[in-house]
Amino acid sequence: MVFADMIRTALRFLLALFYGYAGYAHIVRPEPFLTITPHWVPFPEAVIFWTGIAEIAGAIGLLQPFFEPLRRAAGVGLALYALCVWPANINHFAMDMARIDGGLGLGYHVPRMIAQPLLIWLALWVSGAISQRPRPDNPTK
């Protein structure tokens, strides 16, 4: 295993732990997630519960070592999940900035906004859904 593969595997396990814990938190303690859920989301309690299930399922999919299509599907699913929950993060940002005290502030929210596309890319990369191999300069040769 080359060094890049070791890094990719380590980050895959780290991301799986992150999503596994986040999923657990969504199910066991949904209140903080409910407070940042946009008002237009129907059935917010059910949505929070099922997002927790989705995170746990994605984490399990990332951790399995033998069936690559399942691992790639988990990566795509987690990337789509991160994209779909971005409105809640934006809503949280807007709610906090509207508070008199500024809530958690820009030091929290700006890195969080930057982290979201990185999480999307990371889920795709560590799962193997996107390749790490360079493309040839001229694929017709």
34-78 residue pLDDT tens: 999 999 999 999 999 999 999 999 999 999 888 999 999 999 999
Task: Count, in order, helices (H) and strands (E) of the chain.
Answer: 5, 0
Please determine, for residue 140, whether its predicted confidence score (pLDDT) is greater than 70. no
Least confident among 14-18, 51-55, 74-78, 104-108: 104-108
16 is a domain residue: yes
- Total domains, the chain: 1
139 is a domain residue: no
Residue type, 28: V
65 is a domain residue: yes
8 is a domain residue: yes
Question: DSSP state, 121?
Answer: H
Distance CA 29, CA 124 (A): 28
Q: Once rounded to an integer, what is the mean pLDDT over residues 18-24?
A: 98
Rounded alpha-carbon distances, angstroms, from residue 36 to 7, 39, 92: 33, 9, 5
134 is a domain residue: no
Domain containing 122 equals: 3-127
133 is a domain residue: no
132 is a domain residue: no
Could you tell me the pTM of the whole model?
A: 0.86
15 is a domain residue: yes
Residues 37 and 47: beta-carbon distance below 8 Å: yes
Residues 11 and 122: beta-carbon distance below 8 Å: yes
